[in-house]
Structure 1
C-alpha cells in the first residue's frame, strides 16, 4: 500500500486528557497514543467522541513535557469496546511542531544506526 502521508508518524508513549471546547464542564479521558506527527495525533480510548468536534488536550511527549494543544477529530473507527481516532492539531505553534520534528529526526537516526 502506498503511504500518502505528508509527514512521518511517530510512536509516542503517554496520555492525553481531553475536554470539549466551549463546554462549561469537562470530563478527563485517558487515551493510548498510537501515532503522532507534526500535523496530528492518533489515539485509542473507550470513550465515544464526535467527528468534527474540537477538544483541548494535554499531550505528554517523550521528554515528559506536557504540550497544551487543541485537536479536531477527523476520523474514527470502533473495534469492540475501543474507539480509534485520528485528529489534526488546530492552531499549534511552530515551536511545538519543531519539538515533534526533533523527535522524528532522533527516531529516524536511531532506526538507521541502531541503539548506539
Structure 2
C-alpha cells in the first residue's frame, strides 16, 4: 500500500465520539488506532461514508477533549469492524499544537528506550 501520510502517526489511547453532520446526532464510540496533526485512523462497528464529514470529540492523553471535524478518506471492512482513515478538516492551530506536543513527548520516550 502506498504511504500517503503527511505527518508521523501517533498511537493514542482514548476514544472519540462521532456524530454525523446534517443528520440525527448519534454518538458512536470508536477505537483510535493512530493519529497525527493531519488525521487519524480508527475502528468502528458503524459503517460511515467515504467523503463525508463527521464531528468528533477526541479524548487525548491528558483527558482533555478536542472538538474536531474529520473527513473519511479510506475505509476497509475487517472481522473486527470497519477500519477508517480520516483527515482533519479546518483544525484550529491550538489543537494541532496539542497533538504536536504529544508527538514530541512520544519521540523523546522512544529515544530513551
TM-score (norm 1): 0.92
RMSD over aligned Cα atoms: 1.5
The aligned runs of 1:77-92 (5 Å cut-off) are: 77-92=76-91
Separation in 1 of the partners of 2:17 and 2:6?
A: 26
Work out the CA distance in 2 between the residues paired with 1:109 and 1:73.
31
Structure 2 residue runs without a partner (length 5+): none
CA deviation map 1:26-82 (0-9, x unaligned)? 111110000000000100011100000000000000110000111100000011251
Closer, same or farther in 2 for the Cα pair 1:2/1:74, shift >3 Å? Answer: closer
Q: TM-score, normalised by structure 2?
A: 0.94
Q: Which has the higher strand share?
A: 2
The count of residues paired between Structure 1 and Structure 2 equals 113
Alpha-carbon distance in structure 1 between the residues aligned to 2:80 and 2:6: 30
Q: Which residue of 2 aligns with 1:34?
A: 33
Structure with bigger gyration radius: 1
Tell me: CA distance 1:2–1:112, structure 2 relative to 1, closer, same or farther (3 Å).
farther
